Structure 1
Amino acid sequence: MKTLKTLKKPVSLRSHVEDYLREAIMEGRFKPGERLRERELCEMLQVSRPSVREALRRLEAEKLVTTVLHQGPTVTEMKEDEATDIYAIRALMEGYAVHQFTLLASDGAINELKKAVQNLHKAAKKRDQKLLIQAKARFYDVILDGCGNALVREILVNLLSRISLLRAKSFSGPDRLPKSLKEIDTLFGHIEARNAEAAQASAHQHIRNAEKTALDVMTQQAQKQNVDEDVSPALSSGPCKA
C-alpha cells in the first residue's frame, strides 16, 4: 500500500476521507483491482475504522470501489464496454445540455463559461491533472446549471466520478490535451455566437475524440498489466540452475 499524507481532523471527517480516497483512485495511486484494506487505510490516514468504512461505502455507490467475495473492497476495474456506455450517455446528455444552454443562457452565464475555459487553459499550462479535472468539471457545471433541464443534470452528476476517472485517462494520452483545448475553444466559440446546432455537434465530436483516447489508454494499460502478470511468476521462481 502507498504512503499517503496524514489527514487533519476537520469539519466532516468522513467526507474528507471520502475525497482523499476518491482522489487517490482518480490519480492512479490506487490501481484498478487493488485491495483497499480498512486497517491499513486507518493507519495511513490516522482515522477510525467507521470513517473509512463509510467512505468506502460511498465510493462503492459511485462505482469506484467494488466489494469482491473473499477479498473485500477493491478499486473497480472499469471495462471497455462500460466506458463506451458512459461516453454514449455523455454524448447524448451533454450534447443536449450544450444545445439548450446556447439557446437559454444569459450573458452572465456565458461570461462564467468563458472564465471556466480560461481556467482550463491555466490548469493545462501547469500540467496538473487534478486542476485539469476540476476545471473541466467546472466548465460542464456552468452548462448544466444553465441548460434548463434538472433531470439531465441529475443523470450526469450521478455519473460524475466515473466521468472524471475517464477524463483522467483521456488526459493521460500523450497528444490529447492540446487537441482537447482546441475543441473546447471551438465549442465555446459556437456557444458565444449562439449557434446551438454547431455547439451541439462540437460537443458530440469532443466526447467521441475523448472516448477514442481513453479506450486506447485502457487497452494499453490492460496489455501492460498482462505482461507484468506474465513476467512476475518467472521472476519469483528463483534463480536458474545450470
Structure 2
Amino acid sequence: MNQMLLRVPREETSLRQRATQTLRQAILDGHFTPGQKLSERELCESLDVSRSCVRESLQHLQAEGLITIIPHRGPEVTTISPKEVRDIYEVRAHLESLAGRGFALNASKDQVRALRAKLTELSQPEITQDRALMLNVKNQFYDILIAGCGNLVAGQLLQQLNNRVTVLRRISMAQPGRFPHTLVELDAIVAAIEQSDGETAARLCEEHVRKAAANVLQSMQPAAAKLQA
C-alpha cells in the first residue's frame, strides 16, 4: 500500500498563523472591541495578506468564540451576553477549583515558588498601572497553575476558555476597586497551596471565579443601560 505524502506549504501556513495571532492579540488587547464590525479589505491592507488568508484567520477566531461572522453582514468582534458570561464563569469555576486542588497536591516546590513569584510581580505598581501588562502577567499566573495542576484535561479546557475570559477580565478590571480584592483572593489561594491544602485551595479558587463573574456582570450593566436608552 502506497503511503500518501501530505505537504503543507510552510510559508503560507506560517503567514496565516501570524495573521491569526495578530488579530487575536488585537482583540485581547482591546484594539477591536465587542460588537465592532471588521472589514476584510481593511484587514488585508493592515496585515498585508491576501483575502483568503484573512478569511481563514477570521474562521479560526470564530471557532475560538472571538469573532462572529454574520450572514450578509460579515465579521464582527463577538459580543458576550450576560447569559454567556454566567455560563463561561460557571464552567471556569469548576475547572479552576480542580486546578487549584490539583496544583496544591501535585505541583513541585519550584512550581509553587514560581506561582508565588508571579503573584508578587502582579502586585508591583508598574504592573497595576498598566492594564495590558497586568492582563499578561495574570495570564502567566494561570499558565503556571495549569502546568502544575496534574489534570491535563482540566488544563486544556481552561486554556480553551482563556481567550474569552481575557476579554471579560478587561471588563472586570475596569471596575474601580476590584483589583486589590483580586490580589487578596489570589494571595489566599497561593497560601493554601503553599500549605498543600487542596480542599481550601479548591474552595478559594471557586469563590474567586464567582466574585469575578459578579463583577463582570455588574460592569456590563451601564453599557446595557446605554443601549436601551
TMscore range, shorter length: 0.7 to 0.9
Stretch deviating more after TM superposition (172-181 or 124-133):
124-133
| Residue 239 (structure 1) aligns with | none
Q: What's the offset of the Cα at 1:94?
A: 0.5
Matches within 5 A, 1:221-232: 221-227=223-229
Q: What's the offset of the Cα at 1:47?
A: 2.9
Matches within 5 A, 1:55-204: 55-122=57-124, 125-204=127-206
| Residue 5 (structure 2) aligns with | none
| Residue 32 (structure 1) aligns with | 34
Give the match's secondary structure for 2:104.
helix
**Equivalent-residue separation in structure 2 for 1:225 and 1:41 (angstroms):** 28
Q: Which runs of 5+ in 1 are unaligned?
A: 1-8, 228-242
Give the match's secondary structure for 2:123.
helix
Query: TM-score of the superposition, structure 2-length normalised?
Result: 0.87
Change (3 A) 1:134 1:123: farther
**Equivalent-residue separation in structure 1 for 2:156 and 2:184 (angstroms):** 28
Q: What are the superposed Cα offsets for residues 51-102 of structure 1, whole Å, 9 maximum, x if unpaired?
A: 3222211111101101101101111111111110111111101111101110
**Equivalent-residue separation in structure 1 for 2:83 and 2:206 (angstroms):** 19
Whose RCO is larger (CA < 8 A, sep 6+)? 2
Query: TM-score of the superposition, structure 1-length normalised?
Result: 0.83
Change (3 A) 1:136 1:16: same
1:123/1:131 contact within 8 Å kept: no
Question: How much is the aligned-residue C-alpha RMSD, in angstroms?
Answer: 2.0
Q: Which runs of 5+ in 2 are unaligned?
A: 1-10
1:123/1:132 contact within 8 Å kept: no
Q: What's the offset of the Cα at 1:23?
A: 2.6
Identity %, equivalent residues? 38
| Aligned AA (1:210) | A
Q: What are the superposed Cα offsets for residues 199-238 of structure 1, whole Å, 9 maximum, x if unpaired?
A: 11211111111111111112222222334xxxxxxxxxxx
Give the match's secondary structure for 1:67.
strand
